[in-house]
Amino acid sequence: MFTTTRQLRRRLSLGRGVARFVAALLLVLAFWTLGPQTAKAEQGRLDGWTLASASEELVVGRAVIRYEPGTAEQAFELAKLLPGWWSEIEQTLGRDLDDSMTIHVVSHAGRVAQATGMPRWVSGVAHPPRGEIAISLHDPDGSPSELSTLLRHELVHVALFRATAGAELPRWFHEGVADSVANEVSLMRAETLAGAIFGSGVPSLPALEASFHGDARQASIAYAAARDFATWLRFHDAEGGEFRQLLSQLRKGRGFEQSVKDAYGSPLAALDESWREGLSTRFLWYPLLGSEGLPVLLLGPLVALAWFRRRQRLAADWARLEAEDALERTARLGLAPLAS
């Protein structure tokens, strides 16, 4: 039997589809088994936030959760988890921290933006100096937000501010630590970083800092690299003592690079180089993305779940990116920092 042109095209199309499916599968497996598995700072109004719709109040120790009546179930669930999350963050950062804070829980992102002065595409925001957080049950497009992940991310920003006594930190460090400590599983981050490693290359730290203000691709790589480097620094030694020592040095008022050298015994440039040398090994799976022949049907649900999570996180990440750039302009007017 001869193969017609149409049949050949169908086979090629099917082959490409299978290859893409296998590629996604390999990416999921590699990220869950090889890469670091561990979650941004923004500017807004200086005065306190007023979310009139969050009229109900729930007290958890020194924390106050204010919520809309329709969000009571979620607010009570967060209240149960909050002490444990805060304790875990304290252990990671190496000290007991002031746990007083106010958390606003509302139904939609538009209410967060309206009250905080943030753009309408933001689902969560924190004001670390004031210990105030606002999060929404739904993202700007109306889809459910990952509420627990969102709150953990904001909690880390507040905790990091307190652990370092408000030290001035590079953006890549603040964002990377927030991503890492919040323990978010991000397929998008792994895919983006792997593509940079075997493609255009991972930007240097100075370029990384500037990339947060670049185009979409540059900013995505910046967040992915920041997360991975921060995780690498956290687990540079088995017990995480060096990372905690870094925060302690920052708390004493020492500059960031000097604090890194004091804590790790090496300058930041040397640590950066060592991290980069290991990237190609940890992400060795990436060149195999086009491979065929795996029993993909057995693990299909994992791929579907990972891509569903990727779609949700992509929208939230771009919201934060745009918010940071917009509100950084506000910061130049002399307003206090927020984090998201």
Name the pairing type of β-strands 124-127 and 132-138: antiparallel
Give CATH for domain 26-339: 1.10.390
8 Å CB contact between 56 and 68 = yes
Q: Does the pLDDT of residue 23 top 70, yes or no?
A: no
Query: Which whole number is the average pLDDT over 230-250?
Result: 95
Amino acid letter, 332:
R
pLDDT digits (tens, 9 = 90+) for 166-182: 999 998 999 899 989 98
pLDDT digits (tens, 9 = 90+) for 187-211: 778 888 888 888 889 999 999 888 8
Percent of the chain whose predicted confidence (pLDDT) is above 70: 65
How high is the pLDDT of residue 326?
A: 62
Band (pLDDT 50/70/90 cuts) for residue 314 is low
Residues 6+ apart with CB under 8 A from 17: none
Query: Which whole number is the average pLDDT over 227-248?
Result: 95
How high is the pLDDT of residue 289?
A: 64
The region, left, alpha or beta by phi > 0 then psi within -120 to 50, assigned to residue 174 is: alpha
Q: What is the phi/psi pair of residue 36, to 5°?
A: -60, 130
Could you tell me how far CA 160 lies from the centroid of its own chain?
14
Q: Which of 3, 160, 149, 166 is nearest to 97 (CA)?
A: 160
CA–CA gap between residue 161 and residue 119 (Å, rounded): 23
How high is the pLDDT of residue 31?
A: 41
Q: Where are the domains of the chain?
A: 26-339
CA–CA gap between residue 294 and residue 193 (Å, rounded): 24
Q: In the structure encoding, which two tokens stand for residue 322, read together?
A: 């745009």
How distant, in Å, are the alpha carbons of 50, 72, 83, 131, 133 from that of 77?
23, 9, 11, 20, 16
Supply the pTM of this predicted model.
Answer: 0.71
Query: Which whole number is the average pLDDT over 218-223?
Result: 86
CA–CA gap between residue 324 and residue 309 (Å, rounded): 22
Q: What is the phi/psi pair of residue 122, to 5°?
A: -100, 135
CA–CA gap between residue 291 and residue 142 (Å, rounded): 37
8 Å CB contact between 45 and 117 = yes
Q: Does the pLDDT of residue 101 top 80, yes or no?
A: yes
pLDDT digits (tens, 9 = 90+) for 33-89: 343 333 333 444 435 566 667 788 999 999 999 998 889 999 999 999 999 999 999
Q: Which of 17-26, 201-210, 262-271 has the highest mean pLDDT?
A: 262-271
Query: Cα dihedral angle (100, 240, 229, 262), rounded to 10 degrees?
Result: 90
